Structure 1
Amino acid sequence: MQQLNFPKFSFRFKNSENKPLIFDEIRKKFVVLQPEEWVRQHCVQFLIHHKKYPKSLINVEKELKVSNLKKRYDIVVFNPDGSIHLIVECKSPNILINQDTFDQIARYNLTLNASYLMVTNGINHYYCQMDFDQECYTFLEEIPSYK
């Protein structure tokens, strides 16, 4: 897999039916290793090991309804009170992050109401803080660490 712009992490791999799998410690199972999954797993490790978010507050690949459409978010980090702290949208490294990507995560956030947004393709990372009063987001240098 491609080298990403994240610190180096160690992962568990295996093959099944000639497909490479990577262990997802949040879902506690092996999943097919696609380019987007490679980014997602790096991002999860980054949140746990560098931003110090507890694994118990991280959720991966769950369904949500946006305007009566079924969608799936990549990563959500909860606050201890159950509200949503952060939504992460992961793209494959070969996908250019553009306005459509930000529109996608903003649509998800209409339902989820997260305080922070992160968009990454593993190479470029963008962080935003929501301003619900002004109905906009402000770009940040990085997302805050867990308090």
Structure 2
Amino acid sequence: MSYPALNLPPAQLKLSKENEQFFVWCIVRRKKLLLTPEEWVRQHVIHYLIHYKNTPIERVNSEHLLKINGQNRRCDVVVTDSFGNAKLIIECKAPEINLDEKVFLQTSNYIQKSKASFFWMTNGMNHVIVECSKPDVYLEELPEL
């Protein structure tokens, strides 16, 4: 197993190997997950939020379910406020995936449906963080979360 170092602080991930497959323990979902390149990024993001940005773990949701046009969609990571409202939607991609307009459009429905204040797209190497003050009209890229 060899995944690249990411442009995020190091995370103390609990990795295991079973039947030639690697797994990672998700501290939010409290279970082992198959370690894929996207999961590598997602787990680093989760650890960053909790350990470096002091986000309470109970406000971090992984694979958060949203209903959009009658279909179930899952947001990679959602950070909520104390009332359970989405404040930050995070879309994680594998390190080799470019963060382009296609990726943004794929997940723009998450922003509109959740009415989140912020959106963060990351492949672990590059990050695009935007404030969604008026999602239909204006997005401002922020220098850091």
* TM-score, scaled relative to structure 1: 0.92
1:67 is aligned to 69
1:80 deviates by 0.6
Encode CA deviations 1:1-36: one digit per residue, 9 max, x unaligned. Answer: 111111112111111232100010000111000000
Unpaired runs of at least 5, structure 2: none
Q: What is the CA–CA distance in structure 2 between the aligned matches of 1:64 and 1:72, rounded to whole Å? A: 6
Q: What is the CA–CA distance in structure 2 between the aligned matches of 1:87 and 1:104, rounded to whole Å? A: 13
Unpaired runs of at least 5, structure 1: none
Flag the 1:18–1:105 CA change in 2: closer, same or farther, 3 A.
same
RMSD: 1.4
Asked whether the 8 Å contact 1:105–1:117 carries over to 2, the reply is: no
1:133 deviates by 7.8
Q: What is the CA–CA distance in structure 2 between the aligned matches of 1:74 and 1:124, rounded to whole Å? A: 16
2:93 is aligned to 91
2:60 is aligned to 58
The percentage of counterpart residues that share the same residue type is 33
Q: What is the CA–CA distance in structure 2 between the aligned matches of 1:24 and 1:11, rounded to whole Å? A: 8
1:136 deviates by 2.2
Letter in 1 for 2:69: S
Q: What is the CA–CA distance in structure 1 between the aligned matches of 2:136 and 2:13, rounded to whole Å? A: 41
Q: What is the CA–CA distance in structure 2 between the aligned matches of 1:75 and 1:121, rounded to whole Å? A: 13
Give the one of 102, 123, 126 matched to 1:124: 126
1:115 is aligned to 117
Encode CA deviations 1:49-68: one digit per residue, 9 max, x unaligned. Answer: 12111101000013222222
After the TM superposition, list the runs of 4 or more consecutive aligned residues in structure 1 that deviate by more than 2 angstroms. 132-136
Flag the 1:99–1:72 CA change in 2: closer, same or farther, 3 A.
same
Q: What is the CA–CA distance in structure 1 between the aligned matches of 2:122 and 2:41, rounded to whole Å? A: 8
